[in-house]
């Protein structure tokens, strides 16, 4: 996709009741409640208000008609059959959908969080309930001394991570989360429960590895191949304000040249004088990591104001990156660097005088690039890094913040940095379908049509709307 100059963009309006499709039939909520093993909560029921809320506070205006707290694949099947083409329908795992797609206004939320068991088999494969959080996954695997590459925030759900690809701190060594998928049990739009594998349903299995959540069915259980849990080193280098260009310039060739055991991101904080830090994970002891960090510092010619390096086991290394569990109010988007940018200073300039905004560059490469662009639905195999634009907001400042995020998104495109990562989904991203799926889009459309021809799982950025 060729980058073109664009005017600053603001985010698309959030869903309102006016955006809901005019369904011809009503859902039999009482009948669904009777057929479910888990509770069905409706407005006014105890627990409904807490159950409907997602991670992003800005989505608190999404009021579903019901939240089905599913306890089994059969509960999910009953929910799909009851709501199909009668009400908006979506599955909810961690609830981190940036713009609230997992809580459709006046629709049915199939809340999977009660389906969170993690079981490791003797051969090292792990059965993971689709409602498991990353904390659940890392806890269960670490008890068996196994590991799975995945995201960092502990409250994120495994479903969203895996179905969108699954970038994380171990990806350069072990690949994406979706690269470890062995099979997925899911409920389709017509109420069938099937198991997708590479041999049984090759097109569907391909699509589930990076094609984004909510497009092809509702996964109820994953089976992943895992690796022995390694000893890890975690680190953070905090650099003085005003030195971002120097660090950025050094970071790009440094991480490109680094062994695949090393992963690191560059987090640029906006403000009158932008600042930055480099954080990462090394597969191995700190004695092997220290010379690599010394090399970055020497290349940048900037002494960090703080240097933290710690040896940790798998679970505690993941916890190091877990962040705060509290709900937040934010606006976010993404871009993808297909290669190192030749002008880091111009990227840094986009963050000047944008307090409360971060640009987080997560390095790809290594094992991520071992898989071909069209071998799975995740298209960014040969890219250098993903870029997340993340800005704190309030209900009062949301419009202003969305305009600011849109300006940075457009500014990056003007510098030849386009594309996007579907797990940082953004309704205002120009040409979003091509950005998220690249050359895999036509095949994804075909798979979605095969498994959901009547658009039961429709939402504003579903593959069938691309």
Q: What is the pLDDT of residues 255-279, one digit of tens each?
A: 999 999 999 999 999 999 999 999 9
Describe the strand order of the beta sheet including 218-224 as a list of residue ranges.
Answer: 118-120, 126-129, 218-224, 181-187, 193-196
Instruction: For residue 88, give the nearest of 44, 12, 27 by alpha carbon.
Output: 27
The per-residue pLDDT for 23 is 86
Backbone angles phi, psi at 273, to 5 degrees: -130, 100
CB-based contacts of 421, cutoff 8 Å, min separation 6: 164, 165, 167, 334, 336, 380, 386, 388, 436
- CA–CA dist 171, 412 (Å, integer): 24
Q: How confident is the model at residue 12 (pLDDT cuts 50, 70, 90)?
A: very low
Q: Is residue 251 pLDDT above 50, yes or no?
A: yes
CB-based contacts of 194, cutoff 8 Å, min separation 6: 185, 186, 188, 201
The per-residue pLDDT for 24 is 76
Mean residue pLDDT across the chain: 95
Q: What is the pLDDT of residues 367-426, one digit of tens each?
A: 999 999 999 999 999 999 999 999 999 999 999 999 999 999 999 999 999 999 999 999
- CA–CA dist 263, 266 (Å, integer): 11
- CA–CA dist 268, 277 (Å, integer): 7
CB 116, CB 129: distance < 8 Å: yes
In this structure, what DSSP letter does residue 221 have?
E
CB-based contacts of 203, cutoff 8 Å, min separation 6: 443, 446, 447, 450
Token pair recorded at residue 17: 């009741």
CB 383, CB 336: distance < 8 Å: yes
- CA–CA dist 449, 203 (Å, integer): 12
Angle at 341 between CA 335 and CA 346, to 5 degrees: 90
State the SS3 of 362-375. Answer: EECCHHHHHCCCCC
Q: What is the pLDDT of residues 321-336, one digit of tens each?
A: 998 889 999 999 999 9
DSSP string, 413-437: HHTT-----GGG--TTSTTHHHHHH
The per-residue pLDDT for 324 is 83
In this structure, what DSSP letter does residue 305 have?
S
Mean pLDDT within 34-63: 98
CB 194, CB 185: distance < 8 Å: yes
The per-residue pLDDT for 9 is 33
The per-residue pLDDT for 11 is 36
CB 180, CB 148: distance < 8 Å: yes
Token pair recorded at residue 131: 């409602």
More confident residue, 11 or 89: 89
Angle at 115 between CA 110 and CA 120, to 5 degrees: 145
Q: What is the pLDDT of residues 337-349, one digit of tens each?
A: 999 999 999 999 9
CB 157, CB 93: distance < 8 Å: yes
- Indicate the pairing of strand 262-269 with strand 275-283: antiparallel
The per-residue pLDDT for 1 is 28
Q: How confident is the model at residue 16 (pLDDT cuts 50, 70, 90)?
A: very low
Q: Where are the beta strands (DSSP E) in 61-164?
A: 66-69, 89-92, 108-111, 118-120, 126-129, 146-147
3-state DSSP assignment of residue 24: coil
- CA–CA dist 411, 229 (Å, integer): 41
Q: What is the pLDDT of residues 292-312, one digit of tens each?
A: 999 999 999 999 999 999 999
CB-based contacts of 324, cutoff 8 Å, min separation 6: none
The per-residue pLDDT for 21 is 52
If phi > 0 it is left, if psi is from -120 to 50 it is alpha, else beta; for residue 419 that is left
pLDDT above 90 as % of the chain: 94
Contacts from 280-284 at CB under 8 Å and sequence distance 24+? Answer: 280/169, 280/234, 280/235, 281/169, 281/170, 281/232, 281/233, 281/234, 281/235, 281/317, 281/321, 282/232, 282/233, 282/234, 282/235, 283/170, 283/173, 283/230, 283/231, 283/232, 284/230, 284/231, 284/232, 284/233
Q: Is the dihedral of CA 296, 249, 367, 177 positive or negative?
A: positive
Mean pLDDT within 45-71: 98
Backbone angles phi, psi at 61, to 5 degrees: -85, 0
More confident residue, 46 or 21: 46
The per-residue pLDDT for 265 is 98
Q: How confident is the model at residue 102 (pLDDT cuts 50, 70, 90)?
A: very high
3-state DSSP assignment of residue 185: strand
- CA–CA dist 276, 240 (Å, integer): 8
């Amino acid at each position: 996709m060729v980058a073109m100059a664009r005017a600053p963009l603001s985010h698309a309006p959030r869903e309102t009741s006016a955006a809901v499709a005019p369904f011809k039939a009503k859902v039999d909520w009482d009948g669904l409640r009777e057929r479910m093993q888990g509770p069905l909560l409706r407005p006014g029921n105890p627990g409904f208000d807490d159950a409907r809320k997602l991670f992003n506070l800005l989505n608190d205006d999404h009021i579903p008609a019901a939240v089905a707290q599913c306890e089994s694949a059969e509960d999910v099947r009953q929910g799909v059959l009851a709501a199909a083409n009668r009400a908006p329908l979506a599955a909810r795992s961690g609830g981190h959908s940036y713009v609230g797609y997992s809580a459709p206004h006046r629709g049915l939320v199939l809340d999977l969080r009660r389906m969170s068991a993690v079981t490791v088999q003797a051969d090292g494969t792990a059965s993971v309930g689709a409602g498991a959080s990353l904390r659940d996954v890392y806890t269960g695997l670490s008890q068996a001394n196994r590991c799975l590459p995945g995201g960092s925030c502990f409250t994120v759900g495994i479903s969203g991570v895996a179905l969108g690809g699954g970038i994380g701190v171990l990806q350069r060594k072990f690949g994406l989360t979706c690269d470890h998928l062995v099979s997925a049990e899911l409920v389709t739009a017509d109420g069938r429960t099937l198991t997708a594998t590479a041999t049984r349903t090759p097109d569907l299995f391909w699509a589930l590895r990076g094609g984004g959540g909510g497009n092809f069915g509702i996964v109820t259980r994953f089976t992943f191949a895992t690796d022995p849990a390694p000893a890890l080193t975690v680190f953070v280098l905090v650099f003085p304000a005003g030195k971002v260009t120097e660090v950025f310039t050094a970071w790009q060739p440094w991480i490109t040249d680094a062994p695949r055991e090393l992963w690191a991101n560059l987090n640029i904080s906006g403000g009158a004088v932008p600042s930055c830090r480099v954080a990462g994970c090394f597969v191995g002891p700190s004695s092997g990591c220290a010379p690599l960090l010394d090399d970055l510092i020497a290349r940048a010619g900037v002494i960090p104001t703080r240097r933290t390096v710690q040896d940790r086991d798998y679970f505690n290394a993941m916890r190091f990156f877990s962040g705060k569990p509290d709900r937040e109010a934010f606006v976010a988007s993404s871009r993808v660097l297909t290669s190192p940018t030749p002008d880091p200073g111009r990227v840094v300039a986009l963050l000047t005088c944008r307090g409360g905004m971060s640009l987080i560059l997560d390095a790809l490469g290594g094992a991520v690039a071992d898989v071909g662009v069209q071998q799975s639905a995740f298209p960014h195999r040969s890219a250098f890094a993903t870029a997340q634009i993340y800005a704190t907001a309030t209900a009062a400042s949301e419009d202003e913040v969305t305009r600011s995020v849109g300006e940075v998104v457009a500014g990056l495109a003007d510098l030849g940095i386009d594309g996007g990562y579907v797990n940082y989904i953004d309704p205002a991203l120009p040409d979003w379908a091509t950005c998220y799926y690249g050359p895999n889009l036509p095949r994804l459309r075909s798979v979605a049509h095969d498994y959901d021809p009547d658009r039961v799982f429709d939402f504003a950025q579903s593959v069938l709307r691309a």
